[in-house]
Amino acid sequence: MANSRGKKLALNTITSLLLQITSVVSGFILPRLILGAFGSNVNGLVNSISQFLGVITLLDLGVGAVVQSSLYKPLADKNKNEVSKIYSSASKFFKKLAMILLVYVCVLLFVYPLIVNKDFGFFYSATLIAAICISSFAQYYFGIVNSLLLSADQKGYIQYTAQIITIVLNTIACAFLIYLGCSIQIVKLTTSLVFLLKPLYLVLYVNKHYSIDKNIEYTEEPIKQKWNGMAQHFASYVLSGTDSIVLTLFSSLANVSIYSVYHLAIAGVKNALLSMTNGFQSLIGEMLAKKETEKLNNFFGYVEWFLHTGTTLVFGCTGVLLVSFVRVYTNGIDDADYIQPLFAVLITIANAGHCLRLPYNILILAAGHYKQTQSNYIIAMVLNIVISIATVKLWGLIGVAIGTLIAMFYQTVWMAWYDSKSIINWPFKTFLKQCGVDAITVIIASLATFKIPLLSVSYHAWFIQAIEVFAIWCVIVLIINLIFYKDKLSAAFAKISGKLKRA
């Protein structure tokens, strides 16, 4: 059993990391091509429309996360009847959501162009919305339930592999179309059509490998706490998706474009780190379902240390290197001021906070504590929206970054406190110690590296700068962890060494 768990966790981790690397590479290539071919305003328009379409995920109401949590126990117990009931109920819900999406898109086709018609014509904006929305519809109509089933069954590697293939195909196709001089509408329509391949494949895979009775009847709702994931879901969207909408409504498309470039780099770093944890939730969920308390406590201890240490290292380097990267990435584009040092620091810290809260959030989701934690998510959501809107007119990009940062800080501390009191016997002082070590590391390493210069505005010079910064941060992180967490560091090296010897 333990060996099977280890193999699944390794497969999920490796394929998820490969997916994020592929996404990051593609995410850097395509927006840069769009910026070069169409300009900052069009790039801002594309990102703005994507965020407005993302609003439909609010109507998910957190049901997706609850569905995944509900599947852990029946999958662990091999209860095919209960799995079928949950699958059937979730499918009905998401098909209704897909119909609502169609109505929303129809409304957006007429309303959104009126918001931005000072820069673009009605037909231009409306056709771009239509082109972008196709893959969203496919996801909700027949893709998302299969993804949730595979993730809950610790088979996320199936969908990650499919996603990698579609991203590569999309990058090649879109780059070719931009080279040919095609319109942005044709480029984004191609993206939507290519991404249809993933949900179609998942349908075929699940039909072949799972005995799901899609017509099963049930009298009692099989998805417990179906509506109790609402606060978590709304907060998750607000914390990650409303900044572009706030900037669209209260600032400019140029600022949306600037935000999207910084967010592109930050999201690539964040998702690469998050990819290392994609198998953790289902594994913790199984341990909770089987009441393996001692194993859970040991595993969670390493998850907390790993994520804090990894976040400190990765985001620390990002904070030092981000402005240099944006300078190189936007070299030659002068229709907006992309060099925003203070915004870079704030948005880096805010997204680091998202990763620091991850071990505590994973535990809450795996335990299914949706109703009990609603207030935390609601307060974080309100903090982000109110502060962002209140400060965006005065400080622009910096205002929305401050809103996100304050919300993340509050949520991280609250979650760590809740987990220690209500889910596992995990001392809150352990969290405080870890945060103290993080802070010491960031201060020392930042002082040691922030003056390392970018010798020229080129990728070659930036890579040299990045290697120097990363090497110094690694040494400092290693030394500090040898002082404060020698046992965990030794265990990690021993595990890696053992695997290398077996290989």
Tens of pLDDT, residue by residue over 211-245, are 888 888 777 777 766 555 566 666 666 666 677 77
Beta carbons of 186 and 150 less than 8 angstroms apart: no
Q: How far apart are CA 17 and CA 23, in angstroms?
A: 10
Q: How far apart are CA 31 and CA 260, in angstroms?
A: 9
pLDDT at 440 over 60: yes
Give kind and range of the element (H or E) at residue 50: helix 40-54
Residue 60 confidence (pLDDT):
60
What tokens does 493 get? Answer: 């090296």
Encode burial over 380-407: b for 16+ CB neighbours within 10 A, e otherwise: bbebbbebbbebbeeebbbbbbbbbbbb
In DSSP notation, 361-402 reads HHHHHHHT-TGGGHHHHHHHHHHHHHHHHHHHHHHTHHHHHH
What tokens does 379 get? Answer: 């307060």
Q: How far apart are CA 373 and CA 371, in angstroms?
A: 6
Return the DSSP state at 141.
I
Query: What mean pLDDT do residues 298-306 have?
Result: 84
Query: What mean pLDDT do residues 484-497 have?
Result: 78
% of the chain exceeding 70 in pLDDT: 89
Number of C-beta neighbours around residue 333 at 10 A? 16
Residue 311 confidence (pLDDT):
92
Beta carbons of 83 and 74 less than 8 angstroms apart: yes
Residue 360 confidence (pLDDT):
86
% of the chain exceeding 90 in pLDDT: 21
Distances (CA, A) of 90 to 69, 85, 102, 197: 12, 9, 19, 21
Query: What mean pLDDT do residues 380-397 have?
Result: 87
Query: What mean pLDDT do residues 158-187 have?
Result: 91
pLDDT at 384 over 90: no
Residue 478 confidence (pLDDT):
93
In terms of Cβ atoms closer than 10 Å to its own Cβ (0-12, 13-18, 19+), residue 256 is buried
Q: How far apart are CA 299 and CA 287, in angstroms?
A: 10
pLDDT at 201 over 70: yes
Residue 447 confidence (pLDDT):
95
pLDDT bucket at 6, cuts 50 / 70 / 90: low
pLDDT at 471 over 60: yes
pLDDT at 398 over 80: yes
Measured CA angle at 318 (ends 315, 323), to 5 deg: 145
Query: What mean pLDDT do residues 164-185 have?
Result: 92
Q: How far apart are CA 464 and CA 470, in angstroms?
A: 10
Residue 443 confidence (pLDDT):
95
Residue 358 confidence (pLDDT):
83
Residue 497 confidence (pLDDT):
66
Residue 59 confidence (pLDDT):
59
Residue 55 confidence (pLDDT):
67
Residue 77 confidence (pLDDT):
80
Tokens 């110690």, residue located: 433
Residue 78 confidence (pLDDT):
84
pLDDT bucket at 449, cuts 50 / 70 / 90: very high
Query: What mean pLDDT do residues 290-294 have?
Result: 76
What tokens does 44 get? Answer: 């801002």
Query: What mean pLDDT do residues 391-417 have?
Result: 88
Beta carbons of 51 and 220 less than 8 angstroms apart: no
Q: How far apart are CA 411 and CA 35, in angstroms?
A: 35
Beta carbons of 225 and 215 less than 8 angstroms apart: no
Query: What mean pLDDT do residues 152-179 have?
Result: 90
pLDDT bucket at 483, cuts 50 / 70 / 90: very high
Q: How far apart are CA 44 and CA 21, in angstroms?
A: 24
Number of C-beta neighbours around residue 117 at 10 A? 12
Four-point Cα dihedral 106, 110, 115, 117, nearest 10: 130
Q: What is the mean pLDDT of the chain?
A: 83
pLDDT at 496 over 70: no
Residue 499 confidence (pLDDT):
58
Residue 297 confidence (pLDDT):
78
Instruction: Check residues 159 and 134 and name the one with the higher pLDDT.
Output: 159
Residue 270 confidence (pLDDT):
83
Residue 500 confidence (pLDDT):
54
